[in-house]
Amino acid sequence: MTKKNVIRALVVAVIVLVLDQISKHWALSELIDGQTISLLGDFLSLHLVHNPGAAFSFLDNATWVFTLIATLFVVFFPFFLRRVTSGMVVMWGAMIWGGAFGNLIDRLLRAPGFPQGHVVDFIQYSDWFIGNIADIALVVGFIGLGAHELFGSSTPEPDTVLDHDHSQE
């Protein structure tokens, strides 16, 4: 991976993390548990919840599992990034990295306590689910990676072309 891709990945991940943490702080200070504020009718609203599980409150009694998985991902993803040659894969991966880190902070630092903290969710999508900025980054990142895998070009991106070794000429 090029130095430019490392910087891009860090910038994207930090932007996701900062937006996630700022928006959660705002939600905790401005929204009341149980209150719903309609933004786009019944389709999109603000509704503060503290989620012990994953998406759709899946496995809400096993918060430590998500903490462990997120910790492993956040710690080891930079080592994986070193092997990536595609700038787009770096960007999608950085979104996932930032989103995982944002929710991991909640699991480590929020009530009921380390390592079973509940994630602050406040963006309600109809009756489907309630999420946050980190969740949006995770979904967009995974969709981007999937699309890149399915429809991506097999030709190298400009950042990935290796310099020709002229020493043997």
* Catalytic one of 42, 106, 135, 163: 135
| Burial class of residue 120 in the structure, from the number of CB atoms within 10 Å of its CB (0-12 exposed, 13-18 middle, 19+ buried) | buried
- Rounded Cα distance between 90 and 83, Å, is 10
CA distances from 17 to 14, 63, 101, 150 (A): 5, 20, 7, 28
* Catalytic one of 121, 127, 159, 165: 121
Sequence letter at residue 80: F
Place of tokens 């998500």: 66
Tokens matching residue 120: 């602050």
| 135 given a catalytic annotation | yes
Q: Which alpha helices (DSSP H) does 45-132 contain, by range?
A: 63-81, 87-109
Which positions are catalytic?
A: 121, 135
